[in-house]
Amino acid sequence: ESNLIFGYCDRLDALHKGLDLLLEGFSTFISKGGSAELWLIGDGKDRIFLENYAKSLCIADKVKFLGPLYGDEKIEKIRLFDVFVHTSRWDAAPTALLEAAALSKPLLISEETNIGNFVERYSSGIVLQKNSPIHIASAMRGFDRRYLTNTILKIGKSANLMIKREFEWTYIANRMINEVYELDQYLKE
């Protein structure tokens, strides 16, 4: 049996963050024979609703609501995730998602997180074609296969590389300096 851990870290806002979709997708994954846990870090107005929703979907024993965590405690929990999940209906680039990628965690995200193009370019996870429970369950099955065949770590390494190449400040600053410098040279000619 797999000990795969899907993890989420952000506000517990069901509509905005797509957490109803995530719970339904996880429930579908489990009902079709998947074996995993879903851990949610954070707090918010919908925590009680989501806890009750997990009970109504008969997955409460596989879903852990860890509450709000900060600093090292948050990072240590994210390190235990096998896959970082973010199924927002709309969003900017969520900070916890970038932190998880920096920790070499494969990503299962909605297109609405706005970093799907990077995730696809670096093969650092799965970007949902449609943010729906069926697509979420299917992506979870894909990660479960990769977990069981020990190919999931390679995806996490790609996520870390994505952060180093696209989101690390020193890299961005150096790229900007080089591009500005090259542009400056072009203008002097």
> Mind listing the pLDDT tens digit for each residue in 119-151?
999 999 999 999 999 999 999 999 999 999 999
Cβ-contact 126, 105 below 8 angstroms: no
Torsion over CA: 112, 116, 118, 124 (sign): positive
The CA-atom distances, in angstroms, between 169 and each of 13, 92, 102, 146, 172 are 29, 18, 13, 31, 5
Q: Is the pLDDT of residue 15 over 60?
A: yes
Query: Where would I find the H helices in the chain?
Result: 14-17, 19-31, 47-56, 71-80, 95-102, 116-121, 133-148, 152-162, 169-188
CA gap 154, 104 in Å, rounded: 9
pLDDT range class, residue 171, cuts 50, 70, 90: confident
∠7-8-9 over CA atoms, to 5°?
A: 130
Taking residue 131's Cβ as centre, other Cβ atoms within 10 Å add up to 20
Task: Kindly report the average pLDDT of the chain as a whole number.
Answer: 92
Q: Is the pLDDT of residue 1 over 60?
A: no
Cβ-contact 79, 1 below 8 angstroms: no
Question: Can you name the residues that pair with 4 across neighbouring β-strands?
Answer: 36
CA gap 19, 46 in Å, rounded: 9
Taking residue 120's Cβ as centre, other Cβ atoms within 10 Å add up to 13
pLDDT range class, residue 182, cuts 50, 70, 90: low
DSSP 132: S
